A = this chain, B = another copy of it.
């Protein structure tokens, strides 16, 4: 997979050293959860998954590339919507089994429902209530009913 150069960013790292990679713990499917947080607003935008190739591409290209478990393929975030995530930093946690990406969220919309964050439902009483407005109709983002991300 290549990432088009219209959205090319300075690389975060051209290569991850063997010792850097050795700190990462991949699950039985070769994946690691990756949290995306807006570097400006601090809002947690989404949780997605990366395999080794997704992390390598993300680090090299400076834009978030995940492994889509539903589609079974690499998924450059924003490839359909234009809502690319430009990476400002990549962090790992203390036991090496989770990643945190600080990103600039293009369009200010991370969620396929047209909201800023995928975490737009909050527990209230015994159920969930929506706390975020829809900033853009998904039909205007995708030109069709979106697939789940």
* A residues apposed to B, CB below 8 Å: 12-17, 19-20, 23, 33, 35, 37, 42, 44, 46-47, 59, 89-95, 97-98, 100, 111-113, 115, 118-128, 131, 148-149
- State whether A126 and B94 are in contact (beta carbons under 8 Å apart), knowing that A33-B33, A33-B47, A44-B44 are contacts in the complex: no
Complex CA gap A131/B97 in Å reads 18
Q: Identify whether the interface residues of A are mostly helix, strand, loop, or mixed.
A: loop
- State whether A12 and B123 are in contact (beta carbons under 8 Å apart), knowing that A93-B46, A95-B149 are contacts in the complex: yes
Do A122 and B35 touch across chains, with their CB atoms under 8 A apart?
A: no
Complex CA gap A115/B90 in Å reads 18
- State whether A47 and B20 are in contact (beta carbons under 8 Å apart), knowing that A92-B121, A123-B89, A126-B15 are contacts in the complex: no
- State whether A128 and B23 are in contact (beta carbons under 8 Å apart), knowing that A59-B123, A90-B122 are contacts in the complex: yes
Do A121 and B91 touch across chains, with their CB atoms under 8 A apart?
A: yes
Contacts of A100 in B (CB 8 A): 44, 119
Contacts of A23 in B (CB 8 A): 121, 128
